[in-house]
Amino acid sequence: MGCSTSKIPTEEPSTQTSAVETINQGRGTQQEGQHHSSVEQPTPTPALTGEQQRHPEADGSVQRQVDGNAEKAKYRLTRQIERGSHSRIFEAFDRVTNKRVAIKFLARGVYCKNLRAEITNHMMLVHPHIIEAKEVYLTPQFLALVLEYAPGGDLFKYVDARGHLDDGTARRIFQQLVIALEYCHEKKVINRDLKPENTLIMTLDGRPYVKLCDFGYSKQVIETKCKTQVGTVGYTAPEILRGGSDYNSACDVWSLGCLLYVMVVGDYPFLCESERLDDKALFRRTQDRVLKADYIFPGDVEVSRGAADLIRQMLVVDIEKRISISGIKRHPWFRQDLPKAALTLNQDCLRVPAFQIQSRADLERILAEAEHAGVARTNSAGSSNSVFAPRRLSSIPSGSSGRS
């Protein structure tokens, strides 16, 4: 499977406006148990070994690079896990509980306005198949989002390493994602960027247990509809690419259909890859195919009838005819081997209050403060700490995805 996709710009104006951006893949490897009830119960895995704890960077040097204040920090940073398009993600340990977390560092400044929806929406969602957003805090230069740690990396890597997934594994992951997505929609949050890179793996014992992680393009839709063109090329629904008209939560069903295709086929349904074409030409070609739902199941990969049938019902251009989440939940392929608890899980989750670790008022205050530019610090080596500045994004082909 080719390993990069392109992003459509974020909703609000920012220092980085139009963008095509390469997506990173996760590198998590260790296993860790967790506590929620879920569609699939993960197998408990051992605590960190001494060797794992003695990471070469566990001496505080990473901490000093990030906030220059290793001694007072609540979390001890140990290593960088990944670099996202707007962030750096670090592994860290809570100094009191010694629990492992992931911390996403985002540069402070006006760009943080764009993060309000991401962080507030994420914190509202408390679900076993969604990475827990625990709290935010400020360092002199960064807004830090503390997340539940996912030891297994992301689903893209998982699929890529295996070529494609067998029917049972793909179904188990898909069941978990459908239940998570139904919960988001019940909370009136549309994700708009579902893809394997934004799906993290908690266990790697052959029964993967997954969680959604990135709500960067999510929108809480209570009275308004969505208009803005956001998402990732190759997963974005045709109604978003077409632009102009209102669209709704059915766009997530389309993306989930693409994600299911990627799992069972090991390739993208629409994304065109060619060394002979430049990014703009590839983008246009992909867009043309999405708008016509022009994809095929390749002859050399065996896809079960049930999975293929469900994908066909999800990748329907007309949103009135596209299968709904409740339709998916009735589909025989989805129902096969479905854990009993899955169908009642969301009723329980919808009763769980959000903002238990950090109050909404605190969150709002910190987010407002984060919009003020951070103070430039010098790191322990004496040089200015610019390594965490978001990468510059290159521009997207005009007319193909600008803001509405």
Which residue number, 122 or 172, has a Cβ lying nearer to ligand ATP? 122
- Name the token pair of 324: 């709904």
124: which residues sit within 8 A by CB, 6+ positions away?
A: 187, 189, 220, 354, 355
Residue of 5, 30, 3 lying closest to 290 (CA atoms)? 5
Q: What is the 3-state secondary structure (H, E, C) of 274-328?
A: CCCCCHHHHHHHHHHHHHCCCCCCCCCCCCCHHHHHHHHHHCCCCCCCCCCHHHH
Q: Would you give the DSSP letter of residue 196?
A: G
Q: Is 150 annotated as a binding residue?
A: yes
Q: CB atoms < 10 A from the CB of 391, how many?
A: 12
Q: How far is the CB of 392 from ligand ATP (least distance, A)?
A: 14
- For ligand ATP, which is the closer residue by CB, 9 or 84? 84
Q: Is 135 annotated as a binding residue?
A: no
Confirm whether residue 148 is marked as ligand binding.
yes
Say whether 376 counts as a known binding-site residue. no
Annotation says 279 is catalytic:
no
Our CB check for ligand ATP shows the closer of 182 and 197 to be: 197
List 154, 160, 167, 193, catalytic entry: 193
Whole-angstrom distance, CA of residue 391 vs CA of residue 16: 9
CB of 325 to ligand ATP, least distance (A): 23
147 vs 328 by CB, closer to ligand ATP = 147
| Binding-site ranges for ligand ATP (CB under 6 A) | 23-24, 26, 28, 81-82, 84-87, 89, 102, 104, 131, 147-150, 153-154, 197-198, 200, 213-214, 216
Contact 74, 93 (CB under 8 A): no
Q: Is 197 annotated as a binding residue?
A: yes
The answer to whether 32 touches 211, Cβ cutoff 8 Å, is: no
Nearest alpha carbon to residue 120 among 179, 17, 189, 211:
189
CB of 152 to ligand ATP, least distance (A): 8
Minimum CB separation from ligand ATP for residue 188, in Å?
21
Which residue ranges make up the annotated binding site for ATP? 104, 148-150, 197-198, 214
Catalytic residue annotation: 193
